[in-house]
């Protein structure tokens, strides 16, 4: 029987982060191209202390919501969902990132599809939501390929790392969507 916390795709694995992942995470997370369109909760520069904090946080999840994206035995990014509580129980924020060395290969789309299926079929969620900075066309395209629907444009919702005020898009996918 396979470990339900390890999800295998073609050429990659989604698995829980481990305490020995600090150096691997640090090697790929401190890249301005990765953080350009991410929330400022994901720091740049990305320090050893940031990696240690992240590993401590994610290794305490039970069950796992944040999965390391591993390619050829190395961390290449992450795919995650964070379940809400209260009146939004059954709904989660969905997100992902991948190091530029693997951009344009369809890996993050495949990894996202795999985790979406897991979130619905194994975890029993009913809705996944993702927020995308409007200029981040590549990320919006990943979501669309995974069956997410653009539900809203949220005008002037964020200030990006360069200080520009930007719209964001709200994408969502329901467990009942085909």
pTM (2 d.p.): 0.94
Confidence grade of residue 1 (pLDDT, cut at 50, 70, 90): very low
Going by DSSP bridges, is the β-strand pair 127-133/91-98 parallel, antiparallel, or unpaired?
A: parallel
pLDDT digits (tens, 9 = 90+) for 14-36: 999 999 999 999 999 999 999 99
Considering the domain boundaries, does residue 23 fall inside one?
Answer: yes
pLDDT digits (tens, 9 = 90+) for 86-143: 999 999 999 999 999 999 999 999 999 999 999 999 999 999 999 999 999 999 999 9
Considering the domain boundaries, does residue 136 fall inside one?
Answer: no
Name the domain count of the chain.
1
Considering the domain boundaries, does residue 107 fall inside one?
Answer: yes
Tokens for 54, please give them: 């992240």
For residue 150, the SS3 value is strand
pLDDT digits (tens, 9 = 90+) for 52-83: 999 999 999 999 999 999 999 999 999 999 99
pLDDT digits (tens, 9 = 90+) for 131-153: 999 999 999 999 999 999 999 99
Domain of residue 41 covers 7-130
Considering the domain boundaries, does residue 159 fall inside one?
Answer: no
Considering the domain boundaries, does residue 126 fall inside one?
Answer: yes
The CATH number of whichever domain residue 44 belongs to comes to: 3.40.630.30
């Amino acid at each position: 029987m396979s470990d339900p916390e390890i999800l295998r795709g073609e050429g990659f694995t989604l698995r829980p982060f481990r305490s020995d992942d600090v150096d691997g995470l640090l090697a790929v997370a401190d890249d301005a191209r990765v953080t350009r369109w991410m929330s400022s909760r994901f720091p740049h520069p990305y320090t050893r202390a940031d990696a240690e904090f992240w590993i401590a946080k994610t290794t305490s999840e039970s069950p796992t919501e944040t999965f390391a994206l591993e390619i050829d035995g190395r961390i290449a990014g992450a795919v995650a969902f964070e379940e809400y509580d209260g009146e939004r129980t059954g709904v989660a924020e969905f997100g992902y990132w991948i190091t530029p060395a693997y951009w344009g290969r369809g890996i993050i789309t495949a990894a996202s599809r795999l985790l979406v299926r897991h979130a619905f079929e194994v975890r029993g969620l009913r809705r996944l939501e993702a927020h995308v900075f409007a200029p981040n066309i590549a990320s919006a395209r990943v979501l669309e390929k995974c069956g997410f629907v653009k539900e809203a444009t949220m005008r002037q919702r964020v200030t990006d790392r360069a200080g520009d005020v930007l719209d964001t898009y709200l994408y969502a996918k329901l467990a009942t969507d085909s």
